[in-house]
Amino acid sequence: MSRMKRLNLINNHLSSQFPPIPYDESLDNYRKKGEDVNKEILLRHFFRDSYERIMAYRNHMANDPVFNHNDEAEFSRERKRERIIQQIASIYFKANLSYESCKEEFLKKYELLYTLCDYDIGLATRLLIHLVLYINAIENLGTSKHIEHIKRAYHLLDYGCFGMTELGHGSNVAKLETTATYDHIKREFVINSPTATSAKWWIGGLGKTSNMSVIFARLIVEGVDKGINAFVIPIRDNQTHDCPPRVIIGDCGKKIGLDGIDNGFILFRNYRVPYDSLLDKFSSITEDGKFKSSIKNKEKRLGIMMVGLIGGRVAVVCAAEQHMKSALTAALRFSAVRKQFSSTETENSVLDYPLQQYKLIPHLASIFAIRSIVLWFNENMPIIQKKIDENPEGLEVSEFHAILSACKGVASWYANSCVIQCREATGGLSYSAYANLGRIMMNASVGVTWEGDNGVLIQQTGKFILKQIQRTFKGHIIDAPTLKCIQVDHEKVMQFKARFENSEQLENESILFEIIEFRLNYLLHQSMMRLQEVTGNSKDMFDAWNKSQVYYIQELAKAYGEYIMMREYAKFVRELEEKCEKTGKVIRKLFILFSVGIIERNLASFQDSAMNAHQAKVVRDSMVRLCEELAEVCIKVIDAIAPPDSIHGSVLGAADGQVYAKLIEQVEKADGVYDKPHWLPLLQKVKQVKKT
């Protein structure tokens, strides 16, 4: 920026062209409403054992000028990518991450990534690709000889990426086209991209940053396709950053969001790598050149390899919670401040209106549902990692994968819906980059396809549930603990009637669980009947399976995910009530709203047999009343869990509620806000066209 422009910016900042704006007490007044919430207890319960580290990272970011959303609002793509490297340099080594420390404290690196995601998912993802996808792939698929790669990565001596997705294949990993042909004479693998669509594509960190990559390729041994295997290989010189001969790397170009992530493509032209590049936990090649695997079936082997890469999907669930939290911080605080219409002289806060409450408050309830399942993942991931090592085909691993697949889909769909509604609920001002909602909206949208397309991913959940019910056909019991609520008898399922006649009865926890469990059972039996119905007029079971997705197996998987979330949410509330009865009472009401919301969104299914028209009206009336009651306390709740302003970065959601003053300040600080356009001569020329 030129000296003159810098002086103009300072001058504009010190002497605004707008009339003075008095202090707006609207948000302060809203905080005086409703029941008490102990913010400290709620936040500590929200973060559990991660509280101290997350607060330390937040404090560091709040005091380092490289973390500044308003500066970044007008950054170019390259400038944004550069800023993210500055931010990583600022905070990464504060975490003291190492191979040993992350083995001892499983959540240590995830706590750093979580805090960075509160600031920007682009920043968090740039590091997550390296710390989780790259490192975890080597840990889960490699052996002891690969530990040095992991140690170098933790010390940032290498920067890695995760080369799975190709231009022509994303979710269908089994059909990847990149090949790795084994040359036994030289004991090397020859990596090749045989077609245009075999180019690795959308690989985060590849475009400009990484010098190492885990590459998934079709292993060819003695001319025979042995299925997909993974290789850790150098893709740039660590000093010059040049690509090796026979490796072509480029940038995937402008995206609709997340420009801070340098997604790239890579092509291999018979690129030779040494034997030890093969991550050989499950597959290896003997000294006499023969392929050997502990899992003979290559499709099953691939499935187990994918199960081991759970960290990225858990990260998407975490990101969904954070996107919702950031969007609602802006939308709820702004709605308390924004005044529109009334029947008297004094305009009402937009948050006073039932329509605005109904748009926003259910999403606040969903945040805690997602947080509850994240806490369950945090607790169970270390256990599952050990189970994967011991028995990757075991029930515990399959059940965890089914839960994660369902919850990843449900959470990212929740986030997408929430952020869009927050943008709409905050009107035209939210279209400003300084509101930060546009950035959050575009970032949230990637979650539904990142780490597995939701519609494809949750089919794995559906298969798990149906396999469990198939056990009963052979006289076995359902052995998955989370499916003990399954009712095998179709007649009993269809005889179910919801046991409520008024809101008080509906909002009883046991009644709510009965209804949600019925939904799971109902959709299970409907899905089974649908499969039987279409099998006769389908080419094969693959065709029949696909004909059973819409309205059936997809909804079954979603119902399972929401049931698990609800189960963990209830536990979250009970534990909070033990710590603080008043705060627990508020969050319990959010739990009830979340549960009633599931019923309301699926009333058509319930009214098929389980509910009558009167009960449907009770459900709708309860939704509106709960939203109204919670509107009075929602600011206190979001205050407790919201990140600081410097991390949140929205003028609409600033903690002091000075929306208009902050927006004007940021707009006036922008470069050239009062300048004449450089294209003024062109405008004047256009004006002269008609005269000539």
More confident residue, 602 or 308: 602
Residues 389 and 469 in one domain: yes
536: in domain: yes
Residues 467 and 521 in one domain: yes
User: What is the distance between the alpha carbons of residues 319 and 323, in angstroms, rounded to a whole number?
Assistant: 6
217-231, 305-319, 454-468, 607-621, range with the lowest pLDDT: 305-319
CA dihedral (605, 606, 609, 611) positive or negative: negative
Q: What's the token pair of residue 647?
A: 């991390």
628: pLDDT confidence band, cut at 50, 70 and 90? Answer: very high
204-208, 351-355, 668-672, range with the lowest pLDDT: 668-672
Rounded average pLDDT over 169-176: 88
Residues 416 and 279 in one domain: no
Helix, coil or strand: residue 221: strand
Last residue within a domain, chosen from 281, 298, 315: 298
44: in domain: no
Query: Are the CB atoms for 286 and 104 separated by under 8 Å?
Result: no
Q: What's the token pair of residue 320?
A: 């969904």
Q: What's the token pair of residue 80?
A: 């944004």
Query: Are the CB atoms for 178 and 192 separated by under 8 Å?
Result: yes
46: in domain: no
346: in domain: yes
Residues 244 and 234 in one domain: yes
pLDDT at 388: 83
Pairing of strands 160-163, 212-221: parallel
Compute φ and ψ for 659, nearest 5 degrees: -60, -55
| Prediction pTM value | 0.93
Supply the mean pLDDT for the chain: 92
Kindly list the distances between the CA atom of residue 328 and the CA atoms of 94, 111, 169, 359, 419, in Å, as whole numbers in the listed order. 30, 22, 35, 11, 8
Residues 209 and 313 in one domain: no
Q: What angle do helix axes 108-119 and 51-62 make, rounded to 10 degrees?
A: 40
80: in domain: no
Residues 525 and 408 in one domain: yes
Last residue within a domain, chosen from 248, 278, 298: 298
Residues contacting 195, CB < 8 A, separation 6+: 168, 177
Residues 535 and 442 in one domain: yes
Kindly list the distances between the CA atom of residue 239 and the CA atoms of 84, 126, 156, 428, in Å, as whole numbers in the listed order. 21, 21, 13, 49
559: in domain: yes
Q: What's the token pair of residue 195?
A: 């077609």
Residues 514 and 540 in one domain: yes
Please say if the pLDDT value at position 12 is more than 60.
no
The domain spanning residue 558 has which CATH number? 1.20.140.10
Query: Are the CB atoms for 218 and 177 separated by under 8 Å?
Result: yes
User: Whose structure tokens read 């509604």?
Assistant: 421
Q: Is 204 annotated as a binding residue?
A: yes
Among the listed residues 520, 557, 528, 518, the one whose alpha carbon sits nearest the alpha carbon of residue 469: 528
Residue 142 has, within 13 A of its CA and on its CB side, a CA count of 23
pLDDT per residue over 513-533, tens digit each? 999 999 999 999 999 989 888
The domain spanning residue 232 has which CATH number? 2.40.110.10
Rounded average pLDDT over 219-245: 96
Enclosing domain of residue 281: 158-298
Rounded average pLDDT over 121-125: 93
Please say if the pLDDT value at position 57 is more than 90.
yes
Residues 275 and 341 in one domain: no
Rounded average pLDDT over 603-613: 89
Query: Are the CB atoms for 101 and 153 separated by under 8 Å?
Result: no
User: What is the distance between the alpha carbons of residues 578 and 576, in angstroms, rounded to a whole number?
Assistant: 5
User: Whose structure tokens read 């979330």?
Assistant: 565
126: in domain: no
pLDDT per residue over 454-476, tens digit each? 999 999 999 999 999 888 888 88
Query: Are the CB atoms for 338 and 659 separated by under 8 Å?
Result: yes
pLDDT at 2: 46
Q: Is 227 annotated as a binding residue?
A: no
Among the listed residues 483, 292, 298, 320, the one whose alpha carbon sits nearest the alpha carbon of residue 398: 483
Query: Are the CB atoms for 324 and 363 separated by under 8 Å?
Result: yes
Rounded average pLDDT over 10-32: 81
More confident residue, 346 or 159: 159
679: pLDDT confidence band, cut at 50, 70 and 90? Answer: very high
103: in domain: no
Residues 509 and 376 in one domain: yes
Residue 587 has, within 13 A of its CA and on its CB side, a CA count of 34
Q: Could you give the dihedral angle defined by the CA atoms of residues 419, 424, 429 and 431, in that order, rounded to the nearest 10 degrees? A: 60
Please say if the pLDDT value at position 652 is more than 90.
yes
pLDDT at 627: 98
Please say if the pLDDT value at position 7 is more than 60.
no
pLDDT at 9: 45
Residues 269 and 321 in one domain: no
Split into its structural domains, the chain has a count of 2
The DSSP H or E segment spanning 180 is strand 179-183
Among the listed residues 267, 384, 256, the one whose alpha carbon sits nearest the alpha carbon of residue 314: 384
Quickly count: other Cβ atoms within 10 Å of residue 628's Cβ: 15
Give the single-character DSSP code of 476: P
pLDDT at 4: 45
Is there a catalytic annotation at residue 451? yes
Residues 654 and 553 in one domain: yes
Q: What percent of the chain has pLDDT over 70?
A: 97
Q: Which of 72, 139, 399, 451 is catalytic?
A: 451
Q: What's the token pair of residue 103?
A: 């083995």
Last residue within a domain, chosen from 298, 317, 343: 298
